[in-house]
Amino acid sequence: MRRIARLTAVPVLAVVATTVLSAPASATRPDQVIVLPGASSMEGIAAGAGSTFYAGDLFRGDIFRGDVRRGTAELFIDAPDGRNAVGMVADTRRNLLFVAGGGGKGYVYDTRTRATVAEYDFADPAASFVNDVALTPFGAYFTDSRNPVLYFVPVVRGVPGAFRTLPLRGPAAEIIGDFNLNGIQATPSGRTLLVAHSTLAQVMTVNPVTGASAVIAGVDVPNVDGLVLDDRRLWAVQNLDNLISEWRLSADLSSGRLVETITSPAFAVPTTAAKFGHRLAVVNSHFDTGIPPTAPQYEVVVVKS
């Protein structure tokens, strides 16, 4: 997510529609646009089971559930007043949805009952911005855009436990202003994390045990926001540039080379993405209309990856 001065609610706009827009000449199929009915702002998205996705209303905290195959979406969790929803990740094995909550907060929802399973006060709301979250076999790691730390929530026997704070060392710990670490992903083993540093326009590896970090050489990503990782393929959402860059990483994750740049006439400041086979589902934030945004509708755009 790009820099946000404050989090406040904006009026809900009721729009119910699903449309398909023309794709660039280089694409092999039209880009699909799934409108999120009643959303007032959007930022995060997570892949669920099968073709299901979850997306969050940034300033209201509500969670939408949709289907990329059917091209539909609906309100799924009507969050209590005062919550926000930034980045998110779904644990489909345990039916949990982890949601970064902005100022110092994190939430975990049960995707079967829609109930709040856990609520975390990671840090002082006035001095932190909990931005995104990644899942490992051991639990979930949350980024904080204003502090050189990650927050780890262990999951034991399907139950989220007490969090601990992981101090970072190296380039990922560099704080310039108040908007730094953003998107985060994890390798399947959970032994390496990848974090996006928006201010430095870089992606870095992080050791989840020691907090040591290193820049992935060659990956230059201005306005980087959310990340998607699939083996050694990395997609970086570059919000203000209205594009997603795809990178091929070296076996040791120390370097990367640009493979492709994905654009779409349907993009409107995309922030995060989730992968479904050979497609990416991408959230439009419409931050170009202001913060809070004032667009008449908010969408998930599905493009070929």
Q: What mean pLDDT do residues 77-102 have?
A: 98
Which 3 state secondary structure label does DSSP give 228? strand
Q: What is the pLDDT of residues 109-130, one digit of tens each?
A: 999 999 999 999 999 999 999 9
* Torsion 167-153-120-275 (CA) sign: positive
Residue 7 lies in a domain: no
pLDDT band at 28 (very low <50, low <70, confident <90, very high): low
Q: What mean pLDDT do residues 49-78 have?
A: 98
Count the alpha carbons within 13 Å of 83 in the hemisphere toward its beta carbon: 22
Per the CB < 8 A criterion, the answer to whether 273 and 283 are in contact is: yes
Q: What mean pLDDT do residues 60-72 have?
A: 98
The answer on pLDDT for 23 being more than 60 is: no
Q: What mean pLDDT do residues 50-65 have?
A: 98
The answer on pLDDT for 148 being more than 80 is: yes
- How many domains in the chain? 1
The whole domain housing 252 covers 18-304
Residue 42 lies in a domain: yes
The answer on pLDDT for 76 being more than 60 is: yes
Count the alpha carbons within 13 Å of 248 in the hemisphere toward its beta carbon: 4
Residue 238 lies in a domain: yes
Query: What is the rounded average pLDDT for all residues in the chain?
Result: 92
Per the CB < 8 A criterion, the answer to whether 103 and 128 are in contact is: yes
Residue 84 lies in a domain: yes
The CATH code of the domain that includes 105 is 2.130.10.10
Residue 11 lies in a domain: no
Q: What is the pLDDT of residue 119?
A: 98
Residue 6 lies in a domain: no
The answer on pLDDT for 20 being more than 90 is: no
Residue 3 lies in a domain: no
| Helical residues (DSSP H) of the chain, grouped into ranges | none
Question: Nearest-CA neighbor of 62 among 52, 75, 50, 48?
Answer: 75
* Sheet of strand 270-276, all strands in order from the earlier edge strand to the far edge: 18-21, 31-35, 299-304, 279-284, 270-276
Query: Helix count (H) and strand count (E) of the chain?
Result: 0, 26
Residue 295 lies in a domain: yes
- Count of other CB atoms within 10 angstroms of residue 19: 12
